[in-house]
Amino acid sequence: MAQRNSALDCLLFIGAQGRIFTYMNQKERLSSQGKIAEIRLLGIPYHREVDGEIVDCTDVLERLATNENYKQKLRQAINENEENLQPLFEGGYYGVDRKIKKGESLTYEDAFSLMSFVLMASNSQIRSELSPRIKIGDTSLETITLQGIALLAELSAKEAYVGLTPEEIAGLTAATLELDTVVRVDGGQQAFGVGGMGGDRGYPRNGDRSKLFSLSTMGAAVLACFGNVHKHHSYPNTSKIAGQTAIEAIGGRSDQDSQSAMEVLQHETNLFMSSCHTVRTLHTISHRLKGETINHVVGPLAIPVSKDTTLNAFIGVNDNVHPETIIRSLQILQKNGIQKYGNSVAFCGLLKSNSSHFSEQGYYQDKEAKNNVAIDEVAPPPHDTLAAFLVEGQNLGTFIITPSDFLDDDLIAHVDFHGLLIPNTAEGILQANNDAIIGQDLPKSIYLAMTVALGIFTRDYSHLKGAFDQKNRRVNQQMLRKSFYLAFEKIAGGDASAKLQEYIIMSNEVLNI
């Protein structure tokens, strides 16, 4: 995300952007009567024509909510989260706002209540259920919208300058999953949960910051050759291409409007790519503002998977969040019954590493350490990857992974770093996606296999004896290389591209279920 660099910038974000949001063209407001979404995003890609029919992500959301009896499920979720909502009911906006302004960290319950307040601006059903119970303040839509944006801006500033705590991230995520997510899909007994925060700084290219191809999206297809995968993504907000755009550009559909259709897709292909625009309302706020909020932290964790599915979380983070903070957030979410987690990893790609990268506290206090986080992906050679692991419920801490941990010297020699970097254009990214997954571009295919290897290592090897060198904060090279060759074989042998094509075809077929 583009970091706001002063209190004045934050004030302008709250004021100017808030007014734009609140007093937008009335065509962009839905009638709340009988509807869930308060905001309709207009134009491509949110509203587009596909094979002669109009596909609108808000319409899909409304149909999904109706088909899956969302309103009744919401009432039950509110009852189950009564304790978590007490800060909202007792203090309203002013209760949590006061804490942030005093520089205090929020409890899990505070953060759950804060996000619930924000959701009243985007979800009419949440507002109608919660607003009568708030004892303090004006709960009109206009006031809630302005105050909700103010809370998001305050948390964005806290994220950038101080850092969000695991309790805050977990509370925000829990409220999003419990209240705003209209359906949670059965991912089987176990599934990879793939998501990324975006907001990359990028690596320098010809004096400018460049773009890599859609690693997590293509990686999800490769991982699906090894088991169930749920990739959660969206349309682009501040970039040219996002995961949902990449899939739809090659013929995939993201407008399934029933849980049964989603689960057929998941179980038949081992892969489901859900859209944040069709399963919840929260992200309409940041997309309407055309700027990042703390929603980019919530999205990768709020994967709409059933509580009965054990997720192997595979989460790319940006420079504002230390990977170990995410791991501790997962522990809190599991403790509170929001989601079960198996072996999981949070990671980012570095320009260069220093000692502060191994300490959460040191990281948030070291500007240089944060500035050296380049991408929310595995780093391309010659750069290192910073990764934190959750293994059998335990936070193992943070480790450095070098390219030679994945590859021997002969393979590294085939990877031209500058050849991996492409201009930030839609055409360039989509071409690179294809070249990587079909094995047409060897360096890109090798890099894609490195990404998948981290997922395989995390799920299948990280719990084994000798997987980690705790003293030197390194991972087992033999296990990572074995994971790499397993991944590369699926790409080179055509299994990965076949899996992606299978998903594209099936995502169209299940629309008629």
Stated pTM of the model: 0.91
Between helix 442-460 and helix 215-223 the angle, nearest 10°, is: 60
* DSSP state, residue 123: B
- Tell me what pLDDT residue 393 has: 97
Report the amino acid identity of residue 236.
Answer: P
Nearest to 177 by CA among 195, 159, 163: 195
Phi, psi dihedrals of residue 209, rounded to the nearest 5°: -85, 135
Q: What is the pLDDT of residue 293?
A: 78
The Cβ-side half-sphere exposure at 142, using a 13 Å CA radius, reads: 5
- pLDDT at position 29: 43
* CA dihedral sign, ordered 502, 225, 190, 477: negative
Tokens of 275: 């859209």
312: left (phi over 0), alpha (psi -120 to 50) or beta: beta
Considering the domain 184-512 in this protein, what is its CATH number? 3.40.1030.10
- Residue 26 has which token pair? 């009335």
- CA 223 – CA 23 distance, rounded (Å): 44
The domains of the chain are located at 7-179, 184-512
Asked if residues 415 and 383 have their Cβ atoms less than 8 Å apart, the reply is no
Q: Which of 392, 399, 400, 398 is nearest to 331 (CA)?
A: 392
**CA angle in degrees (0–180, nearest 5) for 186-188-191:** 100
Q: Would you say 331 and 390 are in contact if contact means Cβ atoms under 8 Å apart?
A: yes
Q: pLDDT tens string for the chain (513 positions)? A: 333 333 333 333 434 444 333 333 334 444 434 489 999 988 888 898 888 889 999 999 999 999 999 999 999 999 999 999 999 999 999 998 999 989 899 999 999 999 999 999 999 999 999 999 999 989 999 999 999 999 998 999 999 889 999 999 999 999 999 999 999 999 999 999 999 987 667 776 554 556 678 889 999 999 999 999 999 988 876 566 788 888 998 999 999 999 999 999 999 999 999 999 999 999 888 888 776 678 889 999 999 999 999 999 999 999 999 999 999 999 999 999 999 999 999 999 999 999 999 999 999 999 999 999 999 999 999 999 999 999 999 999 999 999 999 999 888 988 888 778 777 777 888 888 999 999 999 999 999 999 999 999 999 999 999 999 999 999 999 999 999 999 999 999 999 999 999 999 999 999 877
| pLDDT value for 237 | 63
The pLDDT score that the predictor gives to residue 23 is 32
